[in-house]
Chains A and B, each alone.
Chain A
């Protein structure tokens, strides 16, 4: 039960790479990945508006669709409702795509300092719309690092025509997280703000790869259709995630993790370890640039300079969760499935100016155990991406500083270069270097990784 759930959400933090661009959309509209991506998987403003509209083009969507939807009843059946079934439509073409990834890793600290992973990952990606207001998205790893994969993100979404109120249900990536690694040029290593565990309290909750639950969200564009407000509120299980992999092979810590998982599996529900659901809020406001739902977008699908979106977005979030803990009591150590009440809160900034994008944020994690112990971790993140005159080369750099109150601080630097050698083929070089009082975890080994991704 719980153990199987934990297995399902487990994947290496140094990922071969999870699902990114969805060729199903490229097929549907007969357009290139760079219509919506600066370079896959990073979305440009148009791509974010496309996503916010439930995977529909901001303008003249119906005209731009080349693979027509299959109607499940003529639209006029809406007039028959409730005496008849509300009509819908489903993708008329291929809504699934395949993602292949091959890579090699150089890690001077590992037992084998360099190795190929062959075809490290094969996954199915899917996405599409159902009628005027529903959509779906999902990725399923057929195998990863030589092992059978599992379901990643998988959700169905309702978009109200006003955009003010929308609902996403399934295995979602909560908007109350600072950055989504799956949408980052440097996402080959996930953001520490998403996955760094608070080991002294045994808190292995992580935003990545996803959470099971429901999210309501919406927004409104700003004056003259520029920028605008986005808000989100959600309720999720609050399961362990990729934080588990960060401590893989760490003496003492991985043992604690195993004990927690075993106890949770024996005493928890099918998916969650306690009845207390986690909840969160998030809000952001974009000043300038394309409207968050695409007002002012061109009716033609642009391929060059579509990353330019001079704007500034400020955001904030608050996540409150409950997780298992091993408590110190007069009777000795006792497991409590709801022993840790924690929160994560932070602020984010996203600035685009011509060909430059700088974004970052600060997150505070605060754990309070029922036995009175408290632990805090502050993580600062900054990342920059500059689109060169040759937009098929995308350099990016990320800096992260971790400051726990239970140990010394350290920082990690990530350098990445993405080469779009074809519109659907990416060669990526990425290296990470961690300095300071670095935890002696294999996760923080200096590494250099090369990957080749091919999606169709």
Chain B
């Protein structure tokens, strides 16, 4: 019991204090046909982070959003906004099948393994989404022009990755104690 308390306290300290004292921004641009579908993230950062809740909706036979970056431990609600039956199942880093359901019902899945989980619908094979389960909160989604900013990253050397439609591209980056670092992916 004592050990669990200590672990919880340490986690709170590392989340709340670690990144905040000395931190900088990673900013830059990505080049992709649809930059807003890119997720730029720090592959691994010191600290333990806790996931919360997120939502993927299904409307007009399209998952929204197409890509959802979340922290490990996040519970994602899968909604059905269509007047027809949908199925949701995941393949990749985590595998599950939530079955079929109709409008108004919400089902959920907690993502406990880092990596790319492809979300598919067994009823509508053209539907696809991705839950990108990340170890840390240092990620960003570029705007339409491809510009992004990851804020409050602790100083250090990292591998920065850009995910796009299931493929990734990486770049080493050194984050200074203050200011910002600029990259192009």
Identify the A interface with B (CB < 8 A).
62-63, 71-77, 79-80, 87
Select which of B33, B91, B126, B165 is within 8 A of A79 by beta carbon. B91
Say whether B91 contacts A74, CB under 8 Å: no
CB of A57, distance to nearest CB on chain B (Å): 13
Say whether B165 contacts A75, CB under 8 Å: yes
Any A CB within 8 A of the CB of B130: yes
How far, in whole Å, are A30 and B182 apart by their CA atoms in the complex? Answer: 36
Q: Please name all residues of chain A whose beta carbon is closer than 8 Å to the beta carbon of B119 when the two chains form the complex.
A: 76
Say whether B33 contacts A77, CB under 8 Å: no
Say whether A62 contacts B120, CB under 8 Å: no
B residues 89-117 touching A (CB-CB < 8 Å): 91-92
Say whether B130 contacts A63, CB under 8 Å: no
Q: Please name all residues of chain B whose beta carbon is closer than 8 Å to the beta carbon of A77 when the two chains form the complex.
A: 120, 125
Q: Please name all residues of chain A whose beta carbon is closer than 8 Å to the beta carbon of B92 when the two chains form the complex.
A: 76, 79
Any A CB within 8 A of the CB of B118: yes
Q: Please name all residues of chain A whose beta carbon is closer than 8 Å to the beta carbon of B125 when the two chains form the complex.
A: 72-74, 77, 87
B residues 150-178 touching A (CB-CB < 8 Å): 165-166
Contact A75-B128, Cβ < 8 Å, known A62-B33, A63-B33, A80-B120:
yes
6 A-B pairs with C-beta separation under 8 A:
A74-B128, A76-B118, A76-B128, A77-B125, A79-B91, A80-B91
Any A CB within 8 A of the CB of B12: no
How far, in whole Å, are A79 and B119 apart by their CA atoms in the complex? Answer: 10
CB of B67, distance to nearest CB on chain A (Å): 11
How far, in whole Å, are A62 and B118 apart by their CA atoms in the complex? Answer: 21
Identify the B interface with A (CB < 8 A).
33, 91-92, 118-120, 125-128, 130, 165-166
Q: Which chain B residue has the least Cβ–Cβ distance from A83?
A: B91
Number of A-B contacts (CB under 8 A): 30
Say whether A76 contacts B120, CB under 8 Å: yes
How far, in whole Å, are A87 and B130 apart by their CA atoms in the complex? Answer: 17
How far, in whole Å, are A63 and B166 apart by their CA atoms in the complex? Answer: 17
How far, in whole Å, are A79 and B118 apart by their CA atoms in the complex? Answer: 8
How far, in whole Å, are A75 and B120 apart by their CA atoms in the complex? Answer: 10
Q: Please name all residues of chain A whose beta carbon is closer than 8 Å to the beta carbon of B126 when the two chains form the complex.
A: 71, 73-74
CB of B141, distance to nearest CB on chain A (Å): 19
How far, in whole Å, are A74 and B130 apart by their CA atoms in the complex? Answer: 12
Q: Please name all residues of chain B whose beta carbon is closer than 8 Å to the beta carbon of A72 when the two chains form the complex.
A: 125
In addition to A74-B120, A80-B91, 7 A-B residue pairs with Cβ atoms within 8 Å of each other are A74-B126, A74-B128, A76-B91, A76-B118, A76-B119, A79-B118, A87-B125
Q: Which chain A residue has the least Cβ–Cβ distance from B89?
A: A80
How far, in whole Å, are A74 and B91 apart by their CA atoms in the complex? Answer: 13
How far, in whole Å, are A74 and B123 apart by their CA atoms in the complex? Answer: 12
Q: Please name all residues of chain B whose beta carbon is closer than 8 Å to the beta carbon of A74 when the two chains form the complex.
A: 120, 125-128
Q: Please name all residues of chain A whose beta carbon is closer than 8 Å to the beta carbon of B127 when the two chains form the complex.
A: 74
How far, in whole Å, are A277 and B27 apart by their CA atoms in the complex? Answer: 63
How far, in whole Å, are A338 and B68 apart by their CA atoms in the complex? Answer: 66
Most buried by A among B92, B125, B130, B165: B125
Q: Please name all residues of chain B whose beta carbon is closer than 8 Å to the beta carbon of A63 when the two chains form the complex.
A: 33
Q: Please name all residues of chain A whose beta carbon is closer than 8 Å to the beta carbon of B118 when the two chains form the complex.
A: 76, 79
Q: Which chain B residue has the least Cβ–Cβ distance from A85?
A: B125
How far, in whole Å, are A72 and B125 apart by their CA atoms in the complex? Answer: 7
Contact A76-B33, Cβ < 8 Å, known A71-B126, A87-B125:
no
How far, in whole Å, are A79 and B91 apart by their CA atoms in the complex? Answer: 7
How far, in whole Å, are A75 and B164 apart by their CA atoms in the complex? Answer: 13
How far, in whole Å, are A395 and B147 apart by their CA atoms in the complex? Answer: 51
CB of A83, distance to nearest CB on chain B (Å): 9
How far, in whole Å, are A98 and B155 apart by their CA atoms in the complex? Answer: 63
CB of A244, distance to nearest CB on chain B (Å): 49
How far, in whole Å, are A352 and B131 apart by their CA atoms in the complex? Answer: 51
Q: Please name all residues of chain B whose beta carbon is closer than 8 Å to the beta carbon of A73 when the two chains form the complex.
A: 125-126
How far, in whole Å, are A79 and B117 apart by their CA atoms in the complex? Answer: 10
Q: Please name all residues of chain A whose beta carbon is closer than 8 Å to the beta carbon of B91 when the two chains form the complex.
A: 76, 79-80
Q: Please name all residues of chain A whose beta carbon is closer than 8 Å to the beta carbon of B166 when the two chains form the complex.
A: 75-76
